[in-house]
A and B are shown apart, each in its own frame.
Chain A
Amino acid sequence: MSRPMRRRAAIGVVASIAVSALALTACSGQASEAPVEEAGPVTLIVGGMPAATDEAALAIFNDKVEAFEDANPDITIEGSEVKYDPTTFAAQLAGGTLPTVMGVPVTDIQALISREQIKDLSAYYETSDVLKTLNETVTANVQSTDGDYYGIPISAFTLALLVNRAVFEQAGLDPDVALESWDEVAEAATVITDKTDAAGLAQLTSKNQGGWTLTALSAAFGGLIQETEDGVTASTIDNEATADALQFLSDLRWEEDALGANFLLDFDAAGPAFASGQYGMMVGASEWYNPIVRNFAMAPEDFGLFPLPQDDDGLGSLGGGSVAIVRADATDAEAAAAVKWTEFFYLNRFADMEFAAEEAASQAADGGTVPRVGLPLVSAEAYAEYLAAIEPSINVPLENLETYYSAARSDDFAVVTEPPVEAQQVYGILDAALQAVLTDQNADIDALLAQAQQTAAAIVDGAQAK
């Protein structure tokens, strides 16, 4: 599956996690100075408050609110259970019911920027000691094409190969030895299909998640679906790597019959099926350990995580995560308070080890996963210190995830950012191409990609022309 090296310029950001030195140990946990004049008391509505039925989580939240208000007497926090929902975001924003600050997926932030629905926070990146220390790999996700910052990263992950260790063992495979190439993945999927009742690999195909995972496979095979040069982004879907990725999946579907029978699959369907042993592997977010174990009742010891295999020209693993954003019509004082709150609520655990230990103990008591699985927001050293502090509360069998974490710590672990222009629309276009390949044995991959390129190019060009 090798191919000539192609231009890697303007690949968004392909960066090394381990190399990036995050001196978050220097974080004070204190709020940054706002770059604007603050005027009087501020009431801040913060999203993502746990529901009343989740008593333990709500107690932790309320404790944090109390501590924050003690440290910032001019700021009053009002919790809101509202979480990000793209179908209601604009209406809530217009109706005034959207929290002032809330978390959104990285995938959607560029669209929110282009629609001018969130506030520019660049000024705080210049003044905040905390934000200055954040890893560029992570903060690149919240930058517009002009380089301005529109959010604060609060969690991060890369796409990875999720493994059902029980199914692996049933098939006679070793779940402690990472699969290092796509050929090995295909071989393992075939063995699982042949020797167990499970299908080898769950391939997401709907609700734009098919396009998202195909984008990750494309990068792992050496291609990008959008490239930016001199501030102008172009759609590049019909590249050789994306065709190779589709051919890889087509072979698994039609030659090995190793993808199961459902080809309208999203995480809501695939997650429980993977947890219950109906699939041996799945390409997905590394942070999906948390919902799969907690919501879908998978035994923690059955969950395994491999880094996404890279072809010879592989560019890296597609990154993602959550970002705290501030609504566009927030006042400067509200925005300053929102930044303080975000630093305190999400990043303080990496600076205040006593706080981290207490928080982890509460989360573990509530049945939550400790630590939260994903890509560390901070440097390897800072994260190691954090793990040491929460060690008594750790309930994730980290040894089963070690192949992923050790890869993430290595110097050559590269993270590819998501497409910068209208990512969801482009993922939707790729969904259709992927579904065509998996439901029609005679599907013409080159023709599908050419058609997808034509549609996507119009969207990408149109979005930038506005």
Chain B
Amino acid sequence: MLPKIFFGYFAVVMVVLSLLIVTRKNPVHSVLWMLALFFHIAGLYLFLNAEFLAAVQVILYAGAILVLFLFVVMMLNLKEEVMGERFGKEWPVGISIGAFILVLFFFTINKFSQGPTGQYTIERIKAETHTKAIGSVLYTEFLLPFEIASLILLIAIVGAIVLAKKTK
């Protein structure tokens, strides 16, 4: 019973927070609600025994990506933003597409059946600590994707500097 109440709290709060993110007029408030959402997601990861991912979620998403957003939001002209219209003219189309996807997903969830389970039981992860377990998978089975991911980051760094630099 207790886990279900816990999950229910997280689910309700996360849905409310994400609605707040997409509807607030002031982008700074959106960013701050997103901060709260990221902390709840980290909490959910802890609930799913993924403690390392929870820490990574807070450090990377809340500590780096969101600060970047906040940085850019504060440089924009907010006075004008709060005056203007918040939704585009085509909002009924967007909402109907969203509703369609929602219905589609909920029909597929009913057809869901669980596949065979792997070897990383909760006891095993607890015995060798989550960080070690995830590291051993990441650096053996996923070594090539890991290297490619580092390349993606390098390209992003160079690209961001080239795009944002002032050209004279």
A and B assemble together: no
Instruction: List chain A positions with a Cβ less than 8 A from chain B.
Output: none
Instruction: List chain B positions with a Cβ less than 8 A from chain A.
Output: none
